[in-house]
Amino acid sequence: MTKTSRFASMKELPSEHLLRPGTAMCAGCGGLEAVKEVYDVLGKKTVFVNAAGCMTLSAIYPFTPFQGSWLYTAMASAPAGAQGVRDALDILKDRGSISDDEDLDVVVLTGDGAAYGMGLSATSGAIERGLDFLYLCYDNEGYGNTGQQYSAATPHGARTATSTGAIGFPGFKKDLFSIWAAHDPAYVATIIGSEPLDLARKVEKAATMTGPRLILALSPCPPGWDYDPKDTVDIGHLAVKTGIFPLKEYVDGKVTHTRTPHPRVPVEEYLKLQGRFKHLFEPKRDDFTIADIQARVDAYWAEVENGEK
């Protein structure tokens, strides 16, 4: 089922859909970059159900940066909150208390701590119930709001506040895209703020659909990833060019890659810009771990080329 597209073209986006200035976020925040671009497309006829995390710092009671509606929930509870909001809106429509034109789109906004871990059970249940909602995850690959402890989204080898060993985090990042796709939802897509056209096309596409939809945004984090805030866009570009973060979408049971990096840039060009990987290069280069990260990226794209992904 689809909805009518809000805009005939991206040129028709009205300026009042922009987030208000003055949000209390870190300079160079890749999550805020993505959320602002997404909100430019969605507009103010939305209600954001915001799980506890970095983005809750953007709202200072009683104000929020959104010109639409906003609701705060506990970290694991956003999909349940979204169910209540969606049900309430549907009841009001059935009673004639609001018209279709007054209806709102329900958007869950979470970080990776909730999306990959603490809120995954509630999310799975919401998808299985066919809840009509858009799930927007800003993925900064750690619990960024409380000191960048490792999360289920932390990549192999990254050093966090709770993974300080010789190789950093010894585990591997959970594949949230595939977990969502296994539920056969209406839509799943990966985006990054440094690729705004790809982002806008996917969000506009998701906005015309009904049912459970995931927009997964890789969100470079200057304090958590330990880099200069001015490099956020460059690091975002390298995440795509190295193939570490594939831009892709799932719809009607099929995965399509919307950007295939060719030739791919070596992963170390991405890693060496971030202090969280500094231990892989200094005081002694860890060729084994760097090669392991590269090999896993190469294996992923080999499967894509062979039609296995």
Q: Encode pLDDT of 241-300 as tens digits.
A: 999 999 999 999 999 999 999 999 999 999 999 999 999 999 999 999 999 999 999 999
Which of 50, 44, 42, 34 minimizes the C-alpha distance to 7?
Answer: 42
Residue 17 has pLDDT above 50, yes or no: no
What is the model's pLDDT at position 20? 55
Instruction: Say how many C-beta atoms besides its own lie within 10 A of residue 290's C-beta.
Output: 19
Superfamily of domain 10-305: Thiamin diphosphate (ThDP)-binding fold, Pyr/PP domains (3.40.50.970)
Residue-wise pLDDT for 123-139, tens only, equals 999 999 999 999 999 99
- Give residue-wise pLDDT tens across range 182-204: 999 999 999 999 999 999 999 99
Q: Taking the domains of the chain in order of start, what are their residue ranges?
A: 10-305
Q: Which residues contact 175 (CB under 8 A, 6 or more apart)?
A: none
How far are the Cα atoms of 104, 127, 265 from residue 134, in angstroms, in the given order? 12, 10, 32
- The reported pLDDT for the residue numbered 307 is 86
pLDDT digits (tens, 9 = 90+) for 60-118: 878 888 888 999 999 999 999 999 999 999 999 999 999 999 999 999 999 999 999 99
Q: What is the mean pLDDT of residues 37-56?
A: 94
Note whether 144 and 222 are within 8 A (CB): no
Give yes or no for residue 237 having a pLDDT over 70.
yes
What pLDDT shows up at residue 6? Answer: 45
Compute the radius of gyration of the chain from its Cα atoms. Answer: 19
| N- to C-terminal Cα separation, the chain | 26
Which pair of structure tokens corresponds to residue 133?
């909602």
Phi, psi of 248 (to 5 degrees): -155, 170
